[in-house]
Homo-oligomer: A and B are copies of this chain.
Amino acid sequence: MPLMKSWVQSANAADHPFPLNNLPYGVFSTDTLEPRCGVAIGNMILDMARAEEASQIALDGGPFFGEPAWNALMEAGPGTWNHLRAQLTDLLAEGSPARDKIEGFLVPQAEARMHMPFRVAEYTDFYAGKHHATNVGTMFRGPENALPPNWLHIPIGYNGRASSVVVSGTPVRRPWGQLKGPNDDAPRFAPSARFDLELEMGAIVGQPSDGPVTVEEADAMIFGYVLLNDWSARDIQAWEYQPLGPFQAKATATTISPWIVTKAALEAFRVPTPAREVELLPHLRDTGPMLYDLDLWVTLAPEGKGATEIARTNYREMYYSSAQQLAHHTTCGCPMRVGDLLGSGTISGAERHARGSLLELSWGGKEPVELESGETRNFLEDGDTLTLHGVAHGDGYTIGFGECTGKLLPALEEPYKRQIRE
Using a CB–CB cutoff of 8 Å, the interface residues on chain A facing chain B are 121-122, 127, 137, 140-141, 148-150, 153-154, 156-164, 173, 175-178, 180, 186-189, 192, 211-214, 216-217, 233, 236, 239-249, 251-253, 281-283, 285, 328-329, 331-337, 415-418, 420-422
Contact = CB atoms under 8 A, between A and B. Distances in A.
Contact of A245 (B122, B243, B329): B243
6 contacts: A157-B247, A192-B332, A248-B328, A282-B421, A283-B415, A331-B415
Contact of A331 (B150, B156, B248): B248
Contact of A240 (B137, B156, B176, B177): B156
A384 B178 CA distance: 42
Contact of A163 (B122, B140, B416): B122
A196 B337 CA distance: 26
A252 B122 CA distance: 16
A282 B249 CA distance: 20
Contacts of A121: 163
A136 to B, nearest CB: 9
B252 A333 contact: yes
B177 A281 contact: no
A158 B246 CA distance: 7
Question: 9 smallest A-B Cβ distances: which pairs?
Answer: A245-B245, A251-B334, A159-B159, A175-B332, A248-B332, A244-B245, A158-B244, A163-B335, A212-B415
Contact of A176 (B173, B244, B331, B336): B331
Contact of A283 (B216, B236, B247, B416): B416
Nearest to A212: B415
A158 B161 contact: no
A333 B337 CA distance: 26
A217 B416 CA distance: 10
Contact of A178 (B157, B216, B281): B281
B242 A148 contact: yes
A242 B157 CA distance: 10
Contact of A243 (B148, B154, B192, B336): B148
Given A157-B247, A176-B212, A162 B122 contact: yes
B245 A334 contact: no
Given A154-B178, A164-B334, 15 more contacts: A141-B243, A154-B240, A159-B160, A161-B335, A163-B334, A163-B336, A163-B337, A164-B335, A177-B332, A213-B416, A233-B332, A244-B246, A251-B332, A252-B332, A282-B421
